[in-house]
Amino acid sequence: MDRSKWEYKKLGEVCIDFVVPQRDKPTAFDGDIPWCRIEDIDGRYLNGSKSGQNVTRELADKMNMHLCPKGTVISACSASIGTQAITTTECYTNQTFIGLVANPDLLYNVYLYYYLESKSNMLQGLGQGATIKYISKNKYQNMTIPLPSVADQQRIVAELDCLNEMIALKQEQLKEFDKLAQSIFYDMFGDPMDNIHVWEISVLQDVVSENCSISYGIVQPGDDVENGVPVVRPVDLVNQVVYKDGLKIVDKAISDSYKRTILRGDELLFCVRGTTGIISFASEELEGCNVTRGITPLEFGDRIDRYYAYYLLNTPYLQSIIAEKTNGIALKQINMRDVRLLPIMCPPLALQQQFAEKIQAIEAQKELVKQSIAETQHLLDSRMDYYFD
């Protein structure tokens, strides 16, 4: 593809309309034209209102609402700036979005979508405003887009779609591995709610190690400091394993005042504030790190394997108990006493260790898939940089 023949035009020259955001919420939802919000985006597409909030054309005209035709590329110009989608039906949107209607003779709308995706960080930097950032219509109009022929735009989209599909397939493969692990758990141990093998039921405080007090961590971590101690917060429990990269850094003196929760790097990290019951593994590199108020580290003794404990605590039965014991409205949390008394089914340790070996084999396969995803994502990013810079 000969880039020397590409043109560079402003979006205002290749879009036939910019559908400005609707400021006022409709007063009624008894029509058949979707009124959409950021929550309605499903991947690349905006398929309508998931909540069934549809308006009549008459009300829209009365409120001077602006219609996004099917195929409009909508871009979040406030709130979640940097988020894009393509409408699959005509719709109205709230103040979050501006709609870019491509001239089909010059600009393929999916190519425009990818272009805006490649500029997500730049878009976030364009936002102005003290409390709520906002990007004006004029700033979109003045963005410059590389413009090969429409046929070449479609070929570029096909290449980028192929890479995205490869990533999606690998992500589905990861989900299948997780389902396999859960299936193995139930095959080997049954549902803990039924305990069909009549194994001993203990409570959590009786199966953790002598070093584990089942306590919450630092209450007031303070501001980030240099050369301090990394701490894990509830917001860090987004993956199965927590690593040191990206963690908040607190003063060592603050961490030392919470010695009971200083990590060894082999614990389960149990969220007790916010979305209670979320659990992640502490990686070995977290040795010497700490946790904040919303997390209690769980280190197990010689009766319970941590892989077994992770899958046990994630069963619907245990999660339902955790949810039942969770209190609060604005800030949900579970008391340490209730955490300590969670029922733990105790099959023979040898059987748990057999399970752990199976899980470790699955995790090894997952790591290979994750590495492949990272490599494909790097290739996708580099191709987008090539086409859109």
| Per-domain residue ranges of the chain | 3-148, 200-346
- Right CATH for 200-346 from 3.40.309.10, 3.40.50.720, 3.90.220.20, 3.50.50.60: 3.90.220.20
Q: What is the pLDDT of residue 127?
A: 83
The per-residue pLDDT for range 288-305, each reduced to its tens digit, is: 999 999 999 999 999 999
Q: What is the pTM of this model?
A: 0.82
pLDDT in tens, 117-150: 999 999 988 888 777 888 999 999 999 999 999 9
Least confident of 20-34, 166-180, 325-339: 20-34
Phi and psi based region of residue 138 (left: phi greater than 0; alpha: psi -120 to 50; beta: remaining) = alpha
CATH of domain 3-148: 3.90.220.20
Q: How confident is the model at residue 1 (pLDDT cuts 50, 70, 90)?
A: confident
CA-wise closest residue to 86 among 73, 99, 98, 68: 73
100 CA to centre of own chain: 26
The per-residue pLDDT for range 202-222, each reduced to its tens digit, is: 999 999 999 999 999 999 999
Alpha carbons 388 and 248: distance in angstroms, whole number: 34
Average pLDDT, integer, range 49-55: 91
Give φ, ψ of 303 to 5 degrees: -105, -20
**Does the fold of domain 200-346 match that of domain 3-148?**
yes
**Angle made by CA atoms 149, 151, 153, in degrees to the nearest 5:** 70
